[in-house]
């Protein structure tokens, strides 16, 4: 059963080639067969998935019209799901059963998707390699000695290995786009505010945004249509109309102006990544697009600015995990201070602790002006750079990650080197822009991602360019040899 296209699966369900229950059982079988070697899932909800699949089959028999009805999906374990374990990849929440659904979960369920379970992730979405999870590292299906990227690495690995056709993720500084690049799939991060954050456990509230990991831009468009829209329960939700993304994909790109930032051409980019990107750009030029050199002068400051702003917000958001109301609680505390200290020390891993301490420091009375306030000023300059560029170009294109996937453990002892892996994605998040990563080739046998960046609320154009590129190539359909359906 081919999971490479949601459109193909939807057509097969409507023709009666197979039922949602059969499709769901197929995915559950692949999870059982392959996930032990990947560690992509924290929780598999087989019984409720089969029940939802049977319900979807009844809707299909009654003439359900939504393309997602009966399609299996996995949620990153950062989205609250009523009655299901929701851990955020942390010991702090290892036993937390959410009492309600996140808006993303609700909207996709209302469109008839079948939830197979919850995927592994960097603890509280903090990481670029999916090695910080309390439940163990996730492995890359292209080479299980390598990382899949993070923090949505479990979702990316599950889609890349063909365990599930689509999964949700979240992107704070690149956590949908970077794992999509490292595993050879499509990852879409919408404009900040396009998708509700209600029920999505917060890391950095001014940056976190739900996204989609799947095979193609067409698939991403279908899922984003269902997820997006204003939500009065989320104060950061944008009251913007949701276009029919899936109906705006086709058409040529003649005259499209593609911005090439000088700051994305750095010595740190792997040669294979550069070669793959150059070939991809040439294919777009052959379709009538025009390449325009642009400047994003404050890009080199994006990583230091991000690692002030994000930890500051993390410090504030994670202060609620105090051992009193919910989450991990230490045994036999001597007093209130001991309860706080030991509950948080036992509950949080090293990377989360590092960021909480950093954030608390930059928010402290003596350093707020020197660090946090300055970082927010830099953030405004980064956004201004993008707005200046979009006055002259339609999209901006560059690499998603400077290198292909790296070895497990290679950067865990050097946080700064790990943080620099997100150099091309972080500025987009600081500016709140939409962007997609699409596969554009291989370097040393490993997938390479091309990042397509759009102006605010211009997801339609981003998806159209990605779709046109995927009509010209088949990189997005390549699957790791060990996980092909016929393997």
DSSP string, 252-282: --TT-EEEEEGGG--TTS-HHHHHHHHHHHH
The half-sphere exposure of 237 on its side-chain side, counting CA atoms within 13 A, is: 20
- Structure tokens that stand for 204 in this block: 């950095």
Distances (CA, A) of 73 to 28, 212, 409: 11, 11, 30
> Is the distance from CB of 411 to CB of 419 less than 8 angstroms?
no
> Is the distance from CB of 223 to CB of 166 less than 8 angstroms?
yes
Q: Which of 19, 20, 151, 237 is catalytic?
A: 151
Tell me whether residue 48 is one of the annotated catalytic residues.
no
Q: Which of 5, 19, 76, 401 is catalytic?
A: 76
Distance CA 105, CA 313 (A): 24
End-to-end CA distance of the chain: 12
Q: Which of 5, 128, 132, 175 is catalytic?
A: 175
> Is the distance from CB of 195 to CB of 227 less than 8 angstroms?
yes
Q: For the chain, how big is the Rg over CA atoms in Å?
A: 21
Tell me whether residue 175 is one of the annotated catalytic residues.
yes
How many CB atoms within 10 Å of residue 43?
18
Distance CA 201, CA 313 (A): 13
Q: What are the catalytic residues?
A: 76, 151, 175
């Amino acid at each position: 059963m081919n999971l490479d296209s949601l459109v193909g699966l939807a057509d097969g369900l409507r023709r009666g080639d197979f039922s949602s229950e059969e499709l769901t059982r197929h995915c559950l079988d692949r999870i059982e067969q392959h996930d032990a070697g990947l560690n992509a899932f924290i929780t598999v909800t087989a019984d409720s998935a089969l029940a939802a699949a049977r319900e979807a089959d009844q809707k299909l028999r009654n003439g359900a019209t939504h393309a997602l009805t009966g399609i299996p999906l996995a949620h990153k374990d950062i989205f609250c799901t009523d009655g299901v374990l929701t851990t955020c990849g942390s010991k702090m929440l290892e036993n937390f059963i959410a009492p309600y659904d996140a808006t993303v979960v609700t909207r996709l369920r209302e469109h008839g998707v079948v939830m197979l379970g919850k995927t592994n992730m960097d603890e509280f979405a903090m990481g670029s390699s999916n090695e910080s999870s309390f439940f163990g590292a996730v492995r890359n299906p292209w080479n299980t000695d390598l990382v899949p990227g993070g923090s949505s690495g479990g979702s990316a690995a599950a889609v890349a290995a063909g365990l599930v056709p689509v999964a949700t993720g979240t992107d704070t500084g690149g956590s949908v786009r970077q794992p999509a690049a490292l595993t050879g799939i499509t990852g879409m991060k919408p404009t900040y505010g396009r998708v509700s954050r209600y029920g999505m456990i917060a890391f950095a509230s001014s940056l976190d945004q739900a996204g989609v990991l799947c095979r193609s831009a067409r698939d991403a468009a279908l899922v984003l249509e269902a997820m997006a829209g204003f939500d009065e329960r989320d104060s950061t939700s944008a009251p913007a109309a949701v276009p029919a993304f899936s109906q705006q994909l086709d058409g040529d790109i003649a005259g499209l102006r593609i911005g090439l930032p000088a700051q994305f051409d750095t010595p740190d980019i792997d040669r294979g990544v550069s070669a793959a990107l150059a070939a991809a750009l040439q294919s777009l030029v052959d379709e009538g697009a025009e390449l325009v050199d642009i400047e994003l002068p404050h890009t080199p400051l994006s990583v230091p600015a991000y690692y002030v702003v994000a930890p500051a917000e993390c410090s504030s958001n994670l202060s609620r995990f105090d051992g009193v109301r919910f989450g991990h609680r230490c045994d036999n505390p001597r007093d209130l201070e001991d309860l706080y200290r030991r509950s948080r020390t036992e509950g949080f891993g090293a990377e989360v602790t590092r960021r909480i301490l950093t954030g608390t420091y930059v928010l402290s009375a003596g350093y707020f002006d020197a660090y946090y306030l300055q970082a927010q000023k830099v953030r405004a300059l980064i956004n201004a750079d993008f707005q200046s560029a979009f006055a002259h170009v339609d999209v901006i294109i560059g690499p998603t990650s400077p290198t292909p996937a790296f070895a497990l453990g290679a950067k865990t002892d050097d946080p700064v080197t790990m943080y620099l892996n997100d150099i091309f994605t972080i500025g987009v998040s600081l500016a709140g822009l939409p962007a997609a990563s699409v596969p554009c080739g291989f370097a040393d046998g490993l997938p390479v991602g091309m990042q397509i960046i759009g102006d605010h609320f211009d997801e339609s154009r981003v998806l159209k360019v990605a779709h046109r590129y995927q009509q010209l190539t088949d990189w997005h359909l390549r699957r790791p040899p060990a996980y092909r359906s016929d393997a």
